Amino acid sequence: MIITVDDIMDRYEQVIELAKRRGFLWNSFELYGGTAGFYDYGPLGSTLKRGIEQIWREIYVIQEGFMEIECPTIGIEEVFVASGHVGGFSDPLCECEQCKEAFRADHLIKHIMEEADGLSNEELDRIIEQNGVKCPECGGNIGNIYEFNLMFKTQIGPGSGRKGYLRPETAQGMFVDFLKLARYYRDKLPFGATQIGKSYRNEISPRQGVIRLREFTQAEAEIFIDPMVKSHPNIQRFENTSLNLYSDTAQEMGRSQIMTIREAVDKGIIAHEFLAYQVALVDHFLQRVGITADKLRFRQHRKDEMAHYAIDCWDAEVLTDRFGWVEVVGIADRTDYDLSAHAKMSKTELSIYSEYEQPRMVEKFVIKPNMGKMGPMFKDKAKVVAEALKALPQEAFEKEEIKVSVDGEDLTVPRELVEFVQETFKVSGENIVPHVIEPSFGIDRILYSVLEHAYDEEIIPAKASEGNNEDETRIVLRFRKEVSPIKVAVLPLLTRKELIEPAKEIVARLKDKGLMVSYDDSGTIGRRYRRNDEIGTPYCITVDYDTLEDNTVTVRDRDNMQQVRVSIDAIDDVLHELLYKGKEFETVGKPL
RNA sequence: GCGCCGAUGGUCUAGCGGCUAUGACUGGGGCCUUCCAAGCCCUAAACCCGGGUUCGAAUCCCGGUUGGCGCACCA
């Protein structure tokens, strides 16, 4: 029996070990002992991350047309008061002194006070003490209340400057810039904006490596749509796409179902077509960066876990070896919650004028005081009397005499001084507050998932001819070529000047084409192939003595170790077709 | 934040109060080598931090940091 690393390490450990060793991920500040919740992306890690982000941009920014913006990572207090983060993110906690169970203080006194939200910690302490509130678990005494706030607080400017917070999500920037974005998009719904950047949450106890960080990268799109139009013009693109849906009812049954987008919309499982399109788009993105299809599902938020303002919310979840299903993307219909909240806070109308397809004719009861007669009768009061008349309800005009009260004075207006008619108006549109569809991506979690799903160990049987009977393990990161940090390695077969020189020429040529290319002449060729397998380099080019004869090189495929012979003159075209055009490996040259 | 368990070169590891700290792999330099971690020579590299106990601490004790797991938290 062969003992592989599988037997002693779980997949997470193997992946993280490789990631640290090869320069994908490093613990931050390790020189000083490290700090939980922070990771550095090493040379290969940040290249991989950029590749993933680039695909995201291609889909969301270029294809969907949601332009990218960049807002400060520090936000002022008002923004997060409006968003609910200041209130909702700062809960008063207290612990039982006996069993150490932690509770939210305001929850403990719910039965005493209905409205516990607005109370200060001192008041909460006092209420708990006066009412003799005990630990609901073990009956022990409740310790003093402390505040925990998941937002990092900072100060803007010197002294007692303005309060600021590191943003806990990138989304708010798009909401705050809503009017400017609307103008950029020339006041037409739907439109969207995106942002890729760092967000910060001061997690109480971050664990699980890169799955839960204190500083992390989000990619978010905020798509503003007409609340009355939740269809999607391009839905036919995904209609027949089958997704692994774990809906509210499916969760009750404990089993997800494979279903087409069309079916999910028709059966009302996904709230509406526009959201369904976004769910399918997330699926498209995740598979393109290399998430394994059968380790991906979309889980609907249960009614009780959904934010109160959301209509429907789906999480893309990825199956990982150690952590089980991990949420990597959330897709929510947040309705007009965010825009309305910011409108209220800023006292600015955040709406958009939406023109109807057809102008609508609206009937209205209109009061027209005859000012020519009102003037002589009411003199300087004529104007206020007229205003008062206009404010009266329709019934007031059904009587013989019309009574109005102006400045505490009751006046009687003869009927003939007022005309009232049903008039028909043309209304061509109205101000509406758009609804927001928000797909929100945790890039770090996606990157980890990509690493784990790409990780593979292959047993290479021992070669009897060489006398060793030890099987060996080949570790390969089977990245999608598009995301591989290094696209191609150029290797002289032997460390000899006459092979090194042409190899370096090839490196220079490929660099000119903008390819991320590496050069390696240390150790035997087999060792160098394995090194490149381990970091997921899709192709290796080897320069040998035949190269000097006929100007060809071998190209080796990472996944199956096969080789073809290709002319040097064609090498950049061949690589381009292999990497980006999906060309079959066997067709690009003569197999060896 | 609480509880339990761990921490030795880049990685894995030996060590059980008496070292100049073991070994392998990896890395670097060289020799050799005509395609999948071969061989030979040379070389670099570690006891998480701080206190204590002791003649003497990688080893025992305490505190911290950090990693894993469980509880809580995850808007």
**Of residues A520 and A150, which shows the higher confidence score?**
A520
Phi, psi of A171 (to 5 degrees): -55, -40
- The pLDDT score that the predictor gives to residue A547 is 94
CA A360 distance to own-chain centroid: 39
Asked if A53 and A219 count as a contact pair (C-beta separation under 8 A), the reply is yes
A472, closest nucleotide (Cα–C1')? B37
Average pLDDT over residues A3-15: 66
Homologous superfamily of domain range A486-591? Anticodon-binding domain (3.40.50.800)
Strand B at less than 7 A from CB of A272? no
- The pLDDT score that the predictor gives to residue A103 is 60
DSSP A114-152: S--TT--HHHHHHHHHHTT-B-TTT-PBB---EEEESSP
Q: How far is the CA of A565 from the C1' of B59 (A)?
A: 59
Asked if A565 and A589 count as a contact pair (C-beta separation under 8 A), the reply is yes
Q: pLDDT band for position A273 (50/70/90)? A: very high
Length of chain A: 592
Closest among A332, A327, A283, A340 to A310, alpha carbons compared:
A332
- Enter the tokens of residue A185: 């998009």
Strand B at less than 7 A from CB of A495? yes
Three-class SS string for A325-363? EEEEEEEEECCCHHHHHHHHHHCCCCCEEEEEEEEEEEE
Tell me how far apart the 2 most distant CA atoms of chain A are, in Å: 122
Average pLDDT over residues A565-591: 94
CA triple A558-A21-A554, angle to 5 deg: 20
- The pLDDT score that the predictor gives to residue A7 is 47
Subset of residues 67-96 in chain A with CB less than 7 angstroms from any atom in strand B: 84-85, 88-89, 91, 95
Q: pLDDT band for position A5 (50/70/90)? A: very low
Average pLDDT over residues A145-164: 79
Average pLDDT over residues A61-84: 94
Report how far apart, in Å, the C-alpha atoms of A160 and of each of A75, A77, A155, A157, A442 are. 16, 14, 8, 8, 35
pLDDT tens per residue, range A396-454: 777 777 777 777 777 777 777 777 777 777 888 889 999 999 999 999 999 999 999 99
Q: pLDDT band for position A2 (50/70/90)? A: very low
Residue A6 predicted with pLDDT over 50: no
pLDDT tens per residue, range A162-208: 889 999 999 999 999 999 999 999 999 999 999 999 999 988 778 78
Asked if A89 and A149 count as a contact pair (C-beta separation under 8 A), the reply is yes
List the single protein residue with the shortest CA to C1' distance from B10.
A21
- The pLDDT score that the predictor gives to residue A371 is 72
Q: How far is the CA of A152 from the C1' of B65 (A)?
A: 21
Residue A275 predicted with pLDDT over 90: yes
Average pLDDT over residues A23-52: 91
Strand B at less than 7 A from CB of A107? no
- The pLDDT score that the predictor gives to residue A210 is 86
List the single protein residue with the shortest CA to C1' distance from B48.
A33
Phi, psi of A400 (to 5 degrees): -65, -45
**Of residues A414 and A281, which shows the higher confidence score?**
A281
Strand B contact nucleotides, protein CB < 7 Å: 1-2, 10-12, 26-29, 31-38, 48-49, 64-75
Residue A378 predicted with pLDDT over 70: yes
List the single protein residue with the shortest CA to C1' distance from B11.
A21
Question: Half-sphere exposure of A352 toward its Cβ, with a 13 Å CA cutoff?
Answer: 26
Asked if A55 and A480 count as a contact pair (C-beta separation under 8 A), the reply is no
Asked if A61 and A67 count as a contact pair (C-beta separation under 8 A), the reply is yes
Which contiguous run of DSSP H or E holds residue A409?
strand A409-414
Neighbours of A517 (CB within 10 A): 21
- The pLDDT score that the predictor gives to residue A498 is 92
Q: pLDDT band for position A146 (50/70/90)? A: low
Residue A315 predicted with pLDDT over 50: yes
Q: How far is the CA of A207 from the C1' of B51 (A)?
A: 29
Closest among A503, A481, A505, A483 to A492, alpha carbons compared:
A503
- The pLDDT score that the predictor gives to residue A106 is 61
pLDDT tens per residue, range A514-570: 999 999 998 899 999 999 999 999 999 999 999 999 999 999 999 999 999 999 999
Q: pLDDT band for position A110 (50/70/90)? A: low
Q: pLDDT band for position A142 (50/70/90)? A: low
Q: How far is the CA of A130 from the C1' of B14 (A)?
A: 61
Burial of A577 (0-12, 13-18, 19+ CB in 10 A): middle
Strand B at less than 7 A from CB of A560? no
Radius of gyration for chain A, computed over Cα atoms and rounded to the nearest angstrom: 33
Asked if A460 and A473 count as a contact pair (C-beta separation under 8 A), the reply is yes
- The pLDDT score that the predictor gives to residue A424 is 77
- Enter the tokens of residue A277: 């399109």
Indicate whether this complex's ipTM tops 0.90: no
Q: How far is the CA of A578 from the C1' of B27 (A)?
A: 32
- The pLDDT score that the predictor gives to residue A361 is 81
pLDDT averaged over every residue in chain A:
86
Q: How far is the CA of A462 from the C1' of B25 (A)?
A: 19
CATH fold, domain A91-149, is: Herpes Virus-1 (3.30.40)
Residue A139 predicted with pLDDT over 90: no
Q: How far is the CA of A476 from the C1' of B10 (A)?
A: 20
| Lowest pLDDT segment from A149-163, A233-247, A453-467 | A453-467
Neighbours of A315 (CB within 10 A): 20
Kindly report the CATH number that applies to the domain delimited by A357-429.
3.30.720.200
Q: Output helix, strand, coil percentages for chain A, rounded to the nearest 5.
A: 35, 30, 30
CA A24 distance to own-chain centroid: 22
Residue A267 predicted with pLDDT over 90: yes
pLDDT tens per residue, range A299-313: 999 887 787 788 999
For chain A, domain boundaries: 11-73+157-338+435-448, 91-149, 357-429, 486-591
| Per-residue burial over A338-347, b = 16 or more CB atoms within 10 Å of its CB, e = otherwise | bbebbbeeee
Given this chain, do its domains A357-429 and A486-591 carry the same CATH topology? no
CA A584 distance to own-chain centroid: 34
**Of residues A581 and A30, which shows the higher confidence score?**
A581
Kindly report the CATH number that applies to the domain delimited by A11-73+157-338+435-448.
3.30.930.10
Neighbours of A536 (CB within 10 A): 27
